[in-house]
């Protein structure tokens, strides 16, 4: 199916989100839509899907103009959309979710779940998804939930599929699998619109690339274009795709964690006897495939896990067992991996979200009274510094793009004095220009003498930022290695396989050659091994 958008213009008040956009998607091609946060990509696709109505322009399918009053019309015309935040009912089974809104019935008006299960199996077998139709969605990993969304669209005979930031919540392995799925869909004749920030993915899978900036199409390119060319089109200026940082000069251990164990509500050990430390003025990156204890470890540091054993000390003072408020008040900055669940209050304004950590402190509160003028000044300055794009500081955070929401979280945490900065997936949902900015701020935080922990599933980000890298597998530490450790070694470690060349001992401890001490404390030479940046930010999560 050929899809064409002609002169699409969409306004929200005075804001022009889409400005006379023209776009052609040829049958059986993967067309990447590339752009910064807030550039208008998702808005344009929501117009296509019938969620928004454009003020100007038209949509054509196979050269015939169509009008969609809602998503149902778009689906009936053969257009499916997989949103960044999945539209699934967690307590429903896969088959129930797939048939939702397109219910088939048997005699007596009973739902025909047998037909829905058969449809799920047919599509799952065709693409090798291996999905149980009777599995509850809430029990499925994120990558499998995305496949359920794809099955849901294909079950309605979608001939055009829109993927809105589909890899933002996927692990590297799941991302690779998703690329294979897109190629399979293309081979079957499905047209694909692939919305993303990630240059590597665009160059790997796209047939053509359209770049949108500030609501306008600013250029088209082939996947042979360089990362620098694509980044410049996206941002409108040259972007440094490497992390420029001087060698770290770590001080004494600031955060010391010993024999940390976390037990989940089911009684399972999810963090198993983990020990490490972070020095003032260094970045420790925690790497691993999602689901190997990184989340629970981070939550234990922040006081979010109730069943914790072991020691957590910051500058000699214990943090274990403290409330989240006490941990934050101790000077710990925290960027959670899911901003929507743990990082923001969607109905609150940008200004209100920026003061959440200090809602009981001066200058925002004096004698139990909110100081609106002080909050306004702070919010306006912070929004400008962190380039949060909105209609103003009173805009509810829930109305912002995902990347701009992430900027609000980072702005809040990095705009106050810190003794420790913990950032989980700090660039998830961000474009290359924003990633550059965030990485610069993280390095600047390190250089100011603050210990930094970065938890990331993106190896490029880990290698670019880390002075040391701790790899976790199945809740345990596989090893703690220098920041310039080759990706091939890190990949093995993330799979739970320690190298046999002595770089990382196979028993899960750390080397005894003085590079990294065996007790998880600081290196004996007080200097990191990697002195130069080693990786680009192009693959970092957005």
Distance CA 380, CA 378 (A): 6
pLDDT score recorded for residue 200: 83
pLDDT > 90: what percent of the chain? 47
Q: Which residue has the tokens 């307590």?
A: 91
- What is the rounded CA–CA span in Å between residue 361 and residue 352? 13
Strand 283-287 vs strand 452-456: parallel, antiparallel, or unpaired? parallel
Which residues partner with 93 through β-bridges? Answer: 136
pLDDT for res 171: 63
Q: Which residues pair with 6 in a beta bridge?
A: 58
The pLDDT of residue 422 is above 90: yes
Stated as kind and residue range, the H or E segment containing 57 is strand 56-61
Specify the residue for token string 């089911």. 266
Q: What is the pLDDT of residue 512?
A: 35
Paired tokens of 222: 């082939």
Q: Is the pLDDT of residue 449 over 60?
A: yes
pLDDT at position 146, please? 86
SS (HEC) of 138-181? HHCCHHHHHHHHHHHHHCCCCCEEEEECCCCCCCHHHHHHHHHH
Q: Give the pLDDT mean for 108-125.
A: 88
Which residue, among 145, 234, 169, 163, has the nearest Cα to 205 in the 3D structure?
Answer: 163
What letter does residue 382 receive in the DSSP assignment? Answer: H
Residues 54-100: pLDDT tens digits? 999 999 999 999 999 999 899 999 999 888 777 899 999 999 999 98
Instruction: Specify the pLDDT at position 494.
Output: 84
- Reply yes or no on whether the pLDDT at 502 is more than 80: no
Backbone angles phi, psi at 293, to 5 degrees: 105, -5
Which two tokens mark 329? Answer: 């008040």
Instruction: Label residue 241 by pLDDT band (50, 70, 90).
Output: low
Task: Give all domains of the chain, ordered by start, each with its CATH number.
Answer: 3-235 (3.40.50.300), 242-331+417-542 (3.40.50.300)
């Amino acid at each position: 199916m050929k899809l064409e958008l002609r002169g699409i213009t969409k306004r929200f008040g005075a804001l022009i989100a889409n400005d006379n956009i023209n776009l052609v998607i040829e049958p059986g091609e993967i067309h990447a839509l590339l752009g910064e946060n807030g550039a208008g990509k998702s808005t344009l696709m929501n117009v296509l899907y019938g969620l928004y109505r454009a003020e100007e322009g038209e949509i054509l399918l196979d050269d015939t103009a169509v009008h969609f009053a809602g998503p149902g019309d778009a689906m009936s015309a053969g257009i499916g959309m997989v949103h960044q935040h999945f539209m699934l009912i967690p307590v429903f089974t896969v088959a129930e979710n797939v048939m939702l809104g397109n219910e088939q019935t048997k005699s007596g008006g009973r739902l025909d779940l047998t037909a829905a299960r058969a449809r799920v199996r047919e599509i799952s077998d065709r693409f090798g998804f291996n999905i149980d139709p009777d599995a509850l969605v809430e029990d499925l990993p994120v990558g499998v939930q995305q496949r359920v969304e794809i099955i849901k669209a294909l079950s309605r005979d979608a001939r055009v599929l829109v993927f809105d930031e589909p890899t933002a919540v996927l692990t590297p392995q799941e991302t690779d699998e998703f690329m294979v799925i897109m190629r399979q869909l293309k081979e079957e004749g499905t047209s694909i619109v692939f919305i993303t920030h990630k240059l590597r993915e665009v160059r790997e899978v796209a047939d053509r690339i359209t770049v949108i900036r500030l609501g306008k199409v600013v250029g088209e390119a082939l996947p042979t274009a360089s990362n620098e060319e694509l980044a410049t089109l996206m941002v409108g200026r040259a972007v440094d795709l490497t992390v420029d940082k001087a060698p770290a000069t770590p001080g004494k251990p600031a955060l010391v964690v010993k024999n940390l164990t976390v037990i989940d509500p089911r009684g399972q050990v999810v963090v198993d006897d983990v020990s490490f430390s972070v020095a003032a003025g260094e970045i420790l990156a925690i790497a691993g495939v999602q689901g190997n204890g990184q989340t629970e470890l981070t939550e234990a540091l922040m006081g979010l896990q109730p069943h914790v054993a072991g020691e957590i000390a910051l500058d000699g003072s214990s943090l274990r067992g403290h409330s989240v408020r006490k941990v934050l008040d101790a000077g710990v900055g925290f960027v959670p991996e899911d901003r929507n669940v743990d990082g923001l209050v969607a109905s609150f304004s940008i200004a209100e979200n920026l003061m959440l950590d200090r809602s009981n402190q001066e200058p925002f509160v004096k004698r139990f009274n909110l100081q609106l003028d002080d909050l306004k000044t702070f919010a306006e300055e912070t929004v400008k510094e962190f380039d949060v794009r909105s209609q103003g500081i009173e805009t509810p955070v829930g109305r912002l793009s995902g990347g701009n929401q992430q900027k609000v979280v980072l702005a809040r945490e990095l705009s106050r004095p810190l003794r420790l900065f913990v950032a989980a997936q700090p660039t998830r949902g961000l474009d290359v220009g924003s990633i550059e900015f965030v990485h610069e701020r993280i390095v600047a935080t390190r250089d100011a003498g603050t210990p930094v922990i970065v938890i990331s599933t993106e190896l490029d980000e880990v290698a670019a930022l880390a002075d040391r890298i701790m790899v976790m597998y199945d809740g345990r530490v596989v090893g703690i290695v220098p920041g310039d450790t080759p990706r091939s070694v890190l990949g093995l470690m993330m799979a739970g396989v320690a190298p046999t060349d002595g770089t990382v001992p196979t028993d899960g401890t750390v080397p005894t050659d003085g590079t990294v001490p065996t007790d998880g404390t600081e290196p004996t030479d007080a200097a990191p091994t990697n002195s130069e940046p080693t990786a680009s930010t192009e693959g970092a999560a957005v």
